[in-house]
Every structure is written in C-alpha cells, then in structure tokens.
Amino acid sequence: MKSLLFSRFLLLLPWVLIVIIVLDIDSSRAPLPALSPRGGAEGGSGGARSPAPRRRPEPALPTIYAITPTYSRPVQKAELTRLANTFRQVSRLHWILVEDAAARSELVTRFVAGAGLPCTHLHVPTPRRYKRPGLPRATEQRNAGLAWLRQRHQHLPPPQPGVLFFADDDNTYSLELFQEMRTTRKVSVWPVGLVGGRRYERPVVENGKVVGWYTGWRADRPFAIDMAGFAVSLQVILSHPKAVFKRRGSQPGMQESDFLKQITTVEELEPKANNCTKVLVWHTRTEKVNLANEPKYHLDTVNIEV
C-alpha cells in the first residue's frame, strides 16, 4: 500500500513543480501601465500623452434666398413643382414664394405645405393700373420678398452670410448654378440661355472683369442682363435698405438695370460660370395650354386640382 502511494507521489511531483514555477514567473512580471481615457499611458518614462488638438468647425454654407413671384394660371402648379424639385436638391436654400393676389390661394398654400423645403409664403396684389401689356411685371412681388428679407435680418448681428437671387417660376436651373452663386461677395453675374431672341445672352469678360454685354436687345442698357442672370450678397441687400424695383419711370426690360444701379457698378461685378462662358440657367417658358375642349361648367364627378 505504501509503495503504491509513493509511486503516485512521484508521478505527480513534476507537475506540481511546473505549476509552482509558472506562478512564480507571473508574480515577478511588472504591472502594465494604466491607460488614460484617450488611449495613452499615464505616468511611466514616456510621460502623459498630450490631448489631440481640436478641429475648428467648418463655417456654415451661406443660405441662398430665392424670391419667386407667381400668379394664378393653368400651369402654375406644374411650374412650381418643377422648381421645387430643383430647390430640394440644394443645401441651405430658403424659398420666398410671393403670390400676385390679395390673399393666399388654397392651391399654393397646399403646395407649400407639401413642398418639403424651407419656404416663406407671401402675397401682394399688383395694382390693376399696372397690369396693362407692356408694363414691367412682378415688381410688387419682388419688393415684398426684399422687405421680408430685410425685416427678418435687421435685428441680427453681422456678419450674416447669405445670397439672394430672383428665381422666376418659368425658368430652368442647373444645380451647378447654386454652387457658383454661393460664393458671391457683392454681385455676381452669369449667362442666361434662350432669352432676348438669342440662344443665350451673357456678360463679356476680359481679364476677369465685365467689359460689355452680348445681347440681342438694347446693349446700351447699364446692365444688359436678364433677371435670372445675377445674384446679390445678403450684406449688400441689408446695407442698401432703399434699393427696390421701381414702378415710376421704369420700362420693360429695364428693371434689372434700375435695381442694380442702386447697389453696384459694372466694374464691381463678379463673373461666374467659367468667366461667363457656361449657360447654367435657361429662360424656358411653358407652352400656352390648349383648353379649347374644356367645358364651361364643371362636368366631372370629382374636382381635381391641376
């Protein structure tokens, strides 16, 4: 019996010695340094790791304010839908939609509610005496948009980065145009397609400066440019509170010049669109709708908004 126990003891003895040696090695190892919350070691010969420098937040994009006059007609909703589909793809854009009406219409009110973009819905009627053919259009509506913009920002401290442009609802806009205008320092300009009886009109640029106008109508205008062909810095709008579109003495095709003369000079204009050699906006016009077969009285069993 004793010999059996002795033999088993001899078999287990090497394993016991191995376990003792392993435990002794582990206990002799130096403890690892504690890690700081940033992942560096605290203390030790290397010292504490300095915190990583904070990145400066990138400046916010200047807001683009688009003033759009609109009026009731069969294609109004179709025009606004096309325009909204473009605006929804532009970052930091605020739409100022101004109806030529004594009150907000139900059609435009419902449209704005479902447009899915920041929008201010205004209304102001054009006096009847100014609705005669040959007189400038949308004057009161553009001025209402300017008044809202100034009232909103008059009590805010500068600087207030932003850009204003006039976006008629019958135009077509490339998304690239908004990238171009967003860097406007004072007043920027670019070509417009399908206007003035030509394929395009544009400012003529030499050495980065506007020196003339390629236009099909009255090149002697101080600013021979279409309403869709320029943008203005918000700071310029706020610093010229009396700059508006004029009724008295203004002629068709001269509203752009009458307005721009109040805020800038030709020498100060900033050419965009590759020195005014790319067309990024088109003065498209919806074909006049043929409603010859539309009944005088509503005959359908449902009333559909078009």
123 is in an annotated binding site: no
Residue 57 has pLDDT above 70, yes or no: no
* pLDDT tens per residue, range 191-245: 999 998 999 999 999 999 999 999 998 889 999 999 999 999 999 999 999 999 9
Quickly state the pLDDT bin for 37 (edges 50, 70, 90). very low
Catalytic residues: 256
Residue 42 has pLDDT above 50, yes or no: no
Contact 260, 187 (CB under 8 A): yes
Q: Which residue has the tokens 């869709």?
A: 228
285 is in an annotated binding site: yes
Task: Please report, for residues 11, 42, 52, 92, the alpha-carbon distance to residue 36 in angstroms, rounded to integers and kept in the order given.
Answer: 48, 6, 13, 40
170 is in an annotated binding site: yes
Residue 267 has pLDDT above 50, yes or no: yes
Contact 284, 169 (CB under 8 A): no
284 is in an annotated binding site: yes
Q: What is the pTM of this model?
A: 0.79
Quickly state the pLDDT bin for 263 (edges 50, 70, 90). very high
Task: Please report, for residues 1, 158, 160, 162, the alpha-carbon distance to residue 238 in angstroms, rounded to integers and kept in the order given.
Answer: 109, 10, 10, 11
Give the closest residue to 270 by CA, choosing from 198, 205, 200, 196. Answer: 205
